[in-house]
Amino acid sequence: MERTESTQDTTAFNMPDWMQIQFADQKREFNKRPTKIGRRSLSRSISQSSTDSYSSDSSDDETSPRDKQQKNSKGSSDFCVKNIKQAEFGRREIEIAEQEMPALMALRKRAQGEKPLAGAKIVGCTHITAQTAVLIETLGALGAQCRWAACNIYSTLNEVAAALAENGVAVFSWKGESEDDFWWCIDRCVNVEGWQPNMILDDGGDLTHWIYKKYPNMFKKIKGIVEESVTGVHRLYQLSKAGKLCVPAMNVNDSVTKQKFDNLYCCRESILDGLKRTTDMMFGGKQVVVCGYGEVGKGCCAALKAMGSIVYVTEIDPICALQACMDGFRLVKLNEVIRQVDIVITCTGNKNVVTREHLDRMKNGCIVCNMGHSNTEIDVASLRTPELTWERVRSQVDHVIWPDGKRMVLLAEGRLLNLSCSTVPTFVLSITATTQALALIELYNAPEGRYKQDVYLLPKKMDEYVASLHLPTFDAHLTELSDEQAKYLGLNKNGPFKPNYYRY
Ligand SMILES: NC(=O)c1ccc[n+]([C@@H]2O[C@H](COP(=O)([O-])OP(=O)(O)OC[C@H]3O[C@@H](n4cnc5c(N)ncnc54)[C@H](O)[C@@H]3O)[C@@H](O)[C@H]2O)c1
C-alpha cells in the first residue's frame, strides 16, 4: 500500500503538563493495582459473563429494536438498543472493564477540571463492547458529547449498549443487525436535528464513507477523523491521494501502541478463545494454515504453535515471508496445503484470499475462519449456491455441505472470529482506546495549521505516553535518563525516545 505519510517533527511537539510520563520515583496517583483476590475474581467474572449467552440469547423477543419504543430512566429515547432493561448487567461489565483500563481512568482523573474535549461532538463507529464503553464514557468525562453506532453487525454486547443508553449516550446498535440496520444505525447517529458532529472516531471507515456520501457539507464543521483499522486507514490514504480528504485524519492503526499491542497481543490471546468456544477442538498436532504474516498473523501463529499445532503461513511480502521462515513456520502457497489442513485462518486485510476453488478442495471437517478486518478475505458469497447446503449447528457456526457429503465448518460467516465469537483482553484494548482518546484530544485542540488535510500518525511522544500510563499496572519502574546520558544520546529526558522511523 503506497502511503504519503506526513512526517511530523515530534520533538517540537509540546504536551500539556497533565500528559507527561511519570517516572518511578515520582508520585503516581494512578498506581493502584487491584489486589490479587480482586484480580482473580475479575477474570472469573469476565469469562463467566462472556460465556453466558446474555447478549446473544434469542430468549425473550425477536422484535427488531427498530420497532420498539424504549426510554431510559431519565425519559430519553435517543437511542436504539436490543433491551434497555439489560442496562444494570451491562453496567457491571463496564465496571469490570474499567479495572483493566488503567490509562483511561488515569486520563479521567488527570484531566479533571481541564475538560480537553469540552465542546467536542464526537460521532463514533466502533465495536460496542465493555471496553469501548469505557472509552466512550471517558470521552464524555473529558467534556465530549457522543453519538455511537457499531462497526460490526455481530460484535455488539447488547447489555453494554443498554448501559450506555441508560447513561445518556445516544447509542444505536445491537448484536445481529442486518446490513440495512447497520446503515440505519449509522445514519441515526449522524442525521440529527440540532446536532452536528465536529469529530469522527471510526473503525473500518464505514462511518466516514457514509458522511462523505450522504452529508458532505458536514465536513465544514468537522475538525478531524481518528481511524483505527487497517482498512479504514487505507481508505483515508486513497482519499488523500485523490485530493478528496477535506479534514485532517489521524491514523491510529499505525501508531506503535496499536500495532504492536492490539493487533499482535490481542490476536495472540483471542484466536484460541474464538476457536475453542465455537468448535471445542484440540489444537495439538492439528495442521493450520495462516494467511498473512503481519501483526495479526504473527499473533495467531505464535498462539497455535505454543499449543502444538503444525503451522503453515502464506504471504505475498518477502519481508514478512522471511520473518515467518525465521520464526520456524513453513511458508507455502495456499494451494499446496489446502487439501491437508484442519484449520484455515485469514489475516491479510485483503480480498478473495480463500476462493471457491480452495473451499472445494478442502478436506472434510476443515474449519475456516477470518481474523482480518472485514468479510472479504474468504469468498463466502460463492458458497451460496443451490448445490451446497448450509446448516447452522450452533451460534456463529455453520456447516456448509457439498453434494458428496463433505462438510466445511465456517465460523462467524467469515467475519472477524475473535470479536464475533470470543472476548478480547481488556488490557490490550485499553492501550488502543487510550491512543484513540489522545488522538481525538490532539486533533480537537491542535492550533490552526498544525494539521492539514492529510493523514497523520500520532506524535511519538503521545505514543510513549500511552505506554507509560499502562506501566503502573505491572508495578514496572521506568528508568529515567540522567542529564549526562540525555546529552550523550541527544534526547530530551521526557521523550520522544526514538526517531519516527524506529520499528520496535
Ligand atoms: N481480529 C482482530 O482483533 C484484529 C485486530 C487488528 C487488526 N485486524 C485486522 O486484521 C487484518 C491484518 O492486520 P495486520 O495488522 O496484521 O496487517 P498487516 O498489514 O501487518 O498484515 C497483513 C499481511 O497480509 C499479507 N497479505 C496481503 N495479501 C495477502 C494474500 N493474498 N496472501 C497472503 N498474505 C497476504 C500482507 O503482506 C501483510 O504482511 C486487517 O484487516 C486488520 O484490520 C484484526
Assess whether the C-beta atom of 372 lies below 6 angstroms from ligand 1. Answer: yes
Read off the pLDDT of residues 418-440 as tens digits, 9 standing for 90 and up: 988 998 899 999 999 999 999 99
Assess whether the C-beta atom of 140 lies below 6 angstroms from ligand 1. Answer: no
Mean per-residue pLDDT, 32-43? 33
Is residue 59 predicted with pLDDT exceeding 50?
no
Contacts of 425 (CB under 8 A, 6+ apart): 100, 265, 266, 269, 270
Q: Distance from the CA of 293 to the center of ligand 1, in angstroms?
A: 7
**pLDDT at residue number 24:** 62
Check residue 478 and report its DSSP letter. Answer: P
Written as nine digits, the cell of 152 is: 460490526
Mean pLDDT, the chain, integer:
90
- Among 232, 338, 253, 350, smallest CA distance to 292 is for 350
CA distance 60 to 446: 48
Cα-only R_g, the chain: 23
Mean per-residue pLDDT, 374-384? 93
List Cα–Cα distances, 418 to 55, 250, 277, 347, 497, in angstroms.
16, 25, 10, 12, 34
The model carries a pTM of 0.82
**pLDDT at residue number 47:** 32
Read off the pLDDT of residues 292-339 as tens digits, 9 standing for 90 and up: 999 999 999 999 999 999 999 999 999 999 999 999 999 999 999 999
**DSSP-H helix ranges across 125-261:** 130-141, 158-166, 179-190, 206-214, 230-241, 256-258
Q: Which of 126, 234, 257, 263 best tests ligand 1's pocket when mutated (most atoms within 8 Å of CB)? A: 263
Assess whether the C-beta atom of 282 lies below 6 angstroms from ligand 1. Answer: no
**DSSP-H helix ranges across 282-355:** 295-306, 318-326, 334-337
Read off the pLDDT of residues 193-240 as tens digits, 9 standing for 90 and up: 999 999 999 999 999 999 999 999 999 999 999 999 888 999 999 999
**pLDDT at residue number 259:** 85
Is residue 458 predicted with pLDDT exceeding 80?
yes
Is residue 3 predicted with pLDDT exceeding 80?
no
Written as nine digits, the cell of 90 is: 451491562
44 or 475: which leads in pLDDT: 475
- Among 426, 425, 337, 412, smallest CA distance to 380 is for 412
Check residue 266 and report its DSSP letter. Answer: I
Q: Which of 127, 260, 323, 348 best tests ligand 1's pocket when mutated (most atoms within 8 Å of CB)? A: 348
Q: Which of 254-258, 291-295, 402-406, 467-471 has the lowest mean pLDDT?
A: 254-258
Nearest CA to ligand 1 atom 15: 295
Q: Distance from the CA of 8 to the center of ligand 1, in angstroms?
A: 26
Assess whether the C-beta atom of 229 lies below 6 angstroms from ligand 1. Answer: yes
Mean per-residue pLDDT, 447-456? 95
**pLDDT at residue number 19:** 82
Half-sphere exposure of 98 (CA within 13 A, CB side): 18
Q: Distance from the CA of 38 to the center of ligand 1, in angstroms?
A: 36
Whether the Cβ atoms of residue 309 and residue 340 lie closer than 8 Å to each other: no
Is residue 33 predicted with pLDDT exceeding 70?
no
Binding residue positions for substrate? 129, 203, 228, 258, 262
